Amino acid sequence: MENTGVIFETRFGWMGLAGGEGGIQRLYLPVPEKEQASELIRKYFPSLRESVDLFESEIAQIEEYFAGERKEFQFSLDFSSATPFQRKTYEILLMIPFGEVRSYGWIARKMGNEKALRAVGHANGKNRWPLIVPCHRVVGSNGSLTGFSASGGLDLKARLLRHEGVAVENGRVQGLIIS
Domain borders along the chain are 4-66, 84-174
DSSP assignment letter at 48: P
pLDDT at res. 13:
95
* CATH topology (fold) of 84-174: Arc Repressor Mutant, subunit A (1.10.10)
What gap in Å lies between CA 110 and CA 105, rounded to an integer?
Answer: 9
Closest CA to 108 of 81, 132, 141, 133: 141
Q: pLDDT 10s per residue in the chain (179 long)?
A: 457 999 999 999 999 999 988 899 999 999 999 999 999 998 988 888 888 788 999 999 999 999 999 999 999 999 999 999 999 999 999 999 999 999 999 999 999 999 999 999 999 999 999 999 999 999 998 999 987 878 888 999 999 999 999 999 999 999 867 77
Angle made by CA atoms 38, 44, 47, in degrees to the nearest 5: 75
pLDDT at res. 2:
58
DSSP assignment letter at 175: S
**Catalytic residue selected from 82, 108, 135, 161:** 135
What gap in Å lies between CA 153 and CA 151, rounded to an integer?
Answer: 5
pLDDT at res. 152:
80
**Contacts of residue 140, Cβ cutoff 8 Å, sequence gap at least 6:** 103, 104, 146
Residue 135 known to be catalytic: yes
pLDDT at res. 136:
95
Helix (H) or strand (E) holding 50: strand 49-50
pLDDT at res. 1:
42
